[in-house]
Amino acid sequence: MNKPRALALAAAAGLVAAAATFAVVTAVDGDDERGGAGQTASAPRAEAPPAATQASGRELFFQMGCGSCHRFRDAGSTGVIGPDLDERLAAYDAKTLRATILRPPGSAPGTFSVMPDNFGARMNDEALDELVGYLLSARRGGGS
């Protein structure tokens, strides 16, 4: 098989995986009394499920589905839809990473983002801090 065709097939497979993940996340969060998956980061923050509040940042990385789209060596994820976190996290501190998770680029009204914009409703502040702390620690070689 020629290389461009192999790359196109790999990209298509990644898109299908991302679409399936997004569909599951939307279905799980869609019956929420605040309006479901169409929420924005300015919606009231929900209490995270007890498991999420007790989870480590690394566990939250998996629970929130981050690895299905992002490559991140520490987590062993090989996603190809979103940015490679091994490359991108160097540009972030806790404040900017938190803001990007809550309001991903392309999530403004009238735009499109592959990254879900409902993490503010899916995690409480404690869980979000755990995730951000894990990402920043692991990017520095601290790992888990």
Walk me through the domains of the chain, giving residue ranges and CATH numbers. 3-139 (1.10.760.10)
Whole-model pTM? Answer: 0.62
Helix (H) or strand (E) holding 78: strand 77-78
DSSP 108-134: STT---SS-S-HHHHS-HHHHHHHHHH
DSSP 29-72: HTT-TT-GGG--TTSPPPPPPHHHHHS-HHHHHHHTTGGGT-EE
pLDDT in tens, 55-98: 799 999 999 999 999 999 999 999 999 999 999 999 999 999 99
